[in-house]
Structure 1
Amino acid sequence: MSTRRLGARALVARILDGGDWTPWDVPPRPMAAPGSEYEAELAAARGRTGCDEAVITGEGLLRGRRVAFVVSEFGFLAGSIGIATADRIVAAIERATAEGLPLLAAPSSGGTRMQEGTVAFVQMARISAAVMRHRAAGLPYLVHLRHPTTGGVLASWGSLGHVTTAEPGALIGFLGPRVYEALHGEPFPPGVQVAENLAANGLVDAVVDVEDLAGRAAVALSVLCAGPPPAVPAGEPVDEPVPEVPAWESISRSRDPGRPGVRNLLRHGARDVTVLSGTGEGEADPGLLLALARFGDAACVVVGQDRLSQRTGHPLGPAGLRVARRGMRLAREVGLPLVTVVDTPGAVLSADAEERGLAGEIARCLAELTMLPVPTLCLLLGEGTGGAALALLPADRVLCARHGWLSPLPPEGASAIVHRTVDRAAEMAESQGVRAADLYASGIVDVIVPERPDAAKEPVAFCDRTARAVARALAEVADLDPAARSTARERRFLRAAEMR
């Protein structure tokens, strides 16, 4: 493996505006016995790196935004964490928390400093606690994993980021390969502890070269630090009277392969988009997209079902719903509105999905979304089939595309249950009230976004129109009483039942 290793100071200079920063470091307390071999190793490390410990901390400007940082110096005893190192890291995290600053961490470390043993080892818990206090204050914590990051550093402050990136080709793993080979007498399997593999498996959000790191971090922070949505924009609402169409026509149009999905919506209707990967806990699902984004001036977390991936071999499974729950937690923690996008032919039906808890994940999504303290908005963009659609439905506002629809089963399935044949699917869809117009009449949907006459025929214009509707709705829900949110979400469905 060949990776380009930058020292701590060089990395900070590449990221912060003008290469300038203000250090926060104070001289570390002495930990080595006078005249000991460890004292000599520390002195040699200071002479070799020009650093007095294995991390540097401070603050600077990132594209004009004041940020704090903790950056490892691998050349200082392999970036290992001793007691004085932990002192420095914790002090920087606590200062960033006290001053309300987002924190950038760039570890590169072999883990615990073996010369200090168990007492140094347990400092990882102390560092983790400081990180979680920072996050509990609603402040962003961004992590960039560098080559190599292993051991206790990865198992603590290296794995707690709201957004986590890694440098290309970086060795990232809990057990260092040299230690593994020494213990087991054989090399660690190749290709596992590599940044790109971790990204594919939902442990890292993106692999980012140092040249792009500042830009990626700045875009993410522009959303994470945005605060409440702006006031409701002037002008008329986007929704307008639309002619009703038969339910089966909407269902057929929603299944058009050319119909725009959530990725098209973000590409043409949003800005400052940062796509996140997987659960951050070792699972990924191409059928569910998680992103930070802005619609107009309204920043939000987006949890969207990706129609293209689901229709091309990646039906939504339990892992996708766990990705959705990551998005809910992120929105709650940083205080951003959550936008869910429903567009699914239905969850995967398989023995594996059953064993991995599909039904339980639907239930947990419903529970978390209903009780989420931040503003929420659901966009029913196209197909809305079954529990996978219901899992992302409860929200303060529900928008629906003209040809969007919602049903407990695909109409063919409902027809098979009631009539013992799929041939009466159109009749079942009409009788079940699945259309946008029916959902609006029952109070399940608040706004119908026009299609003129079909989103597949005007994808860019439709995405722009939908994005404006989302921006307006986000501004409206920001004004709602936070204490009444969960009750109001539940009452939406009670009202629908009372209207039957």
Structure 2
Amino acid sequence: MGTSLRGAHGSPERPDAAGLLDRVLDPGSYESWDVPPAYTAPSPAYAADLARARERSGHDEAVLTGSGLLRGRRVAVVVSEFAFLAGSIGVATADRIVAAVERATAEGLPLLAAPSSGGTRMQEGTVAFVQMARITAAVMAHRAAGLPYLVYLRHPTTGGVLASWGSLGHVTAAEPGALIGFLGPRVYETLHGEPFPPGVQVAENLAAKGLLDAVVGVDDLPGIAAQALDALCAARPPVSRAGGSSAGSSTPPVRAGGVPVLSESADVPAWESVERSRRAGRPGVRELLAHGATEVTPLSGTGDGEADPGLLLALARFGDAACVVIGQDRAAQRVGRPLGPAGLRVARRGMRLAAEFGLPLLTVVDTPGAALSPEAEERGLAGEIARCLADLITLRAPTLCLLLGEGSGGAALALLPADRV
């Protein structure tokens, strides 16, 4: 039987842990995995802190864990309760998180984490700090099992939580206006004697910098998470690439029923092909997705603080087939922002995602060429082209390259060597 967890704390815009679970999971589907903490406080003062936190929050620790249905799909959840000692992570908190992650892995469940935390629990000192390594190990084992890990960063998420399990998602979204940063603003002001620069540690800014995939309210989270899981959980087993790329194969893939996926195009004179590829009004990758895909979940940036508007990364579904799409956006490149090293690093993130889940990868080539500038050289343009080529050629997933328009220079070459072109 499911449990309703409507809490007294939080607000409609920023619900507490219980309120978030009620709004994200299907009604009545949540089942708690929590057991009472076995941890004994080392001092009377800390024991009193824990007692006050339990009374204030209505919970016995700073996280709630369990499983439930997300648009009909069973998922595991780990959700912080900020009202319990600012969502801080101590030994008992870490024990609960690790147990939940390991159970999710054992049961083959996708995992949704929704941290809101000031970091590690100061009352427990170094022993609390090193718990981040335990949690990270459990999350990486979950990912290594080929299971999705989605993260929803809530206001605020700082310190060791952001520097561990808060930054390891396959897809990462955040609450609008959420404070997100490694160093909390009060700590910064104490250390430097002045406030942290405004507008930096804000979800919207971090999304623009390529650290987050989306900024969404809690009521939009179920749809986005469900769509991402539909794609990530649709993976087929990885394809052996021991013999290298099969781009020269004469046998096209077929759909169910024996209908070829690809057909030969009519002969077009070479110069006419060049002219067609440069027509200003021809469709680009965004039009391809808008008219051809039934579902699209955009992903943003590298996740490591780099983004490039000239490279589109998304999870998409074409009919019954889910895939990762890496597409060069000609329109963005034409307004003075040619594709640079950051865009190729975004592409490599997409390749890793396809390999991790065995998802087909669609690359879309449509570029007037890579950035030719001192900055591009200093940031490793040539090396990124080489690494894109190496990753794509050895990728353990089916690959398809669509030449949608211009294919000039190394930027085009970086996405070219697929199983089918």
- Deviation digits for residues 383-430 of structure 1 (CA, Å, limit 9, x no counterpart): 1111111111111111xxxxxxxxxxxxxxxxxxxxxxxxxxxxxxxx
CA shift, 1:312, in A, is 1.8
CA shift in 2, pair 1:318/1:210, >3 Å: same
Equivalent of residue 261 in structure 1, options 280, 284, 297 = 284
Q: Which residue of structure 1 lines up, in the alignment, with residue 202 of structure 2?
A: 194
SS at match of 2:306: coil
Equivalent of residue 315 in structure 1, options 298, 319, 338 = 338
**C-alpha distance in structure 1 between counterparts of 2:263 and 2:51, whole Å:** 73
Report matched runs for 1:122-201 at 5 Å: 122-201=130-209
Q: Identify unmatched segments of 5+ residues in structure 2.
A: 1-10, 238-252
Tell me, yes or no, if structure 1 residue 18 matches structure 2 residue 27.
yes
Counterpart residue type for residue 302 of structure 1: V
CA shift in 2, pair 1:327/1:115, >3 Å: same
CA shift, 1:33, in A, is 3.1
Q: Which residue of structure 1 lines up, in the alignment, with residue 243 of structure 2?
A: none
CA shift, 1:234, in A, is 3.0
**C-alpha distance in structure 2 between counterparts of 1:173 and 1:19, whole Å:** 34
Contact 1:31–1:84 under 8 Å retained in 2: no
CA shift, 1:248, in A, is 2.2
Contact 1:199–1:206 under 8 Å retained in 2: yes
Contact 1:3–1:170 under 8 Å retained in 2: no
SS at match of 1:143: strand
Equivalent of residue 295 in structure 2, options 258, 268, 272 = 272
Report matched runs for 1:54-453 at 5 Å: 54-228=62-236, 232-234=255-257, 236-237=259-260, 242-398=265-421
- Deviation digits for residues 367-396 of structure 1 (CA, Å, limit 9, x no counterpart): 111111111111111111111111111111
Contact 1:3–1:169 under 8 Å retained in 2: no
Q: Which has the larger radius of gyration?
A: 1
Counterpart residue type for residue 380 of structure 1: L
CA shift, 1:5, in A, is 2.6
- Deviation digits for residues 417-447 of structure 1 (CA, Å, limit 9, x no counterpart): xxxxxxxxxxxxxxxxxxxxxxxxxxxxxxx
SS at match of 1:192: coil
Q: Which residue of structure 2 lines up, in the alignment, with residue 33 of structure 1?
A: 42
Counterpart residue type for residue 368 of structure 2: P
**C-alpha distance in structure 1 between counterparts of 2:394 and 2:279, whole Å:** 35
Superposed CA RMSD: 1.6
CA shift, 1:244, in A, is 2.8
CA shift, 1:268, in A, is 0.6
TM-score normalised per structure 2: 0.91
**C-alpha distance in structure 2 between counterparts of 1:89 and 1:30, whole Å:** 14
**C-alpha distance in structure 1 between counterparts of 2:266 and 2:327, whole Å:** 27
- Deviation digits for residues 447-494 of structure 1 (CA, Å, limit 9, x no counterpart): xxxxxxxxxxxxxxxxxxxxxxxxxxxxxxxxxxxxxxxxxxxxxxxx
CA shift, 1:245, in A, is 2.8
CA shift in 2, pair 1:243/1:379, >3 Å: closer
Determine which structure has the larger helix proportion and give its number: 1
CA shift, 1:228, in A, is 2.3
**Count of residue correspondences:** 396
CA shift in 2, pair 1:312/1:3, >3 Å: farther
CA shift, 1:37, in A, is 1.0
- Deviation digits for residues 323-352 of structure 1 (CA, Å, limit 9, x no counterpart): 000001111112211111111111010000
Contact 1:3–1:168 under 8 Å retained in 2: no
- Deviation digits for residues 18-41 of structure 1 (CA, Å, limit 9, x no counterpart): 15300001111123136x111111
**C-alpha distance in structure 2 between counterparts of 1:302 and 1:227, whole Å:** 14
CA shift, 1:186, in A, is 0.2
CA shift, 1:3, in A, is 9.5
Q: Identify unmatched segments of 5+ residues in structure 1.
A: 399-500
SS at match of 1:232: coil
**C-alpha distance in structure 2 between counterparts of 1:209 and 1:353, whole Å:** 36
SS at match of 2:212: coil
Contact 1:206–1:276 under 8 Å retained in 2: yes
**C-alpha distance in structure 1 between counterparts of 2:26 and 2:102, whole Å:** 23
Contact 2:255–2:261 under 8 Å retained in 1: no
CA shift, 1:241, in A, is 5.6
**C-alpha distance in structure 1 between counterparts of 2:261 and 2:133, whole Å:** 51
- Deviation digits for residues 242-284 of structure 1 (CA, Å, limit 9, x no counterpart): 4433322222221112111111111110122100000000000
Equivalent of residue 18 in structure 2, options 9, 15, 25 = 9
- Deviation digits for residues 204-250 of structure 1 (CA, Å, limit 9, x no counterpart): 00000111000110000000001329972336436556443332222
SS at match of 1:168: coil
CA shift, 1:296, in A, is 1.5
Q: Which residue of structure 2 lines up, in the alignment, with residue 43 of structure 1?
A: 51
SS at match of 1:17: coil
CA shift in 2, pair 1:277/1:152, >3 Å: same
Contact 2:254–2:261 under 8 Å retained in 1: no
Counterpart residue type for residue 216 of structure 1: I
CA shift in 2, pair 1:93/1:236, >3 Å: closer
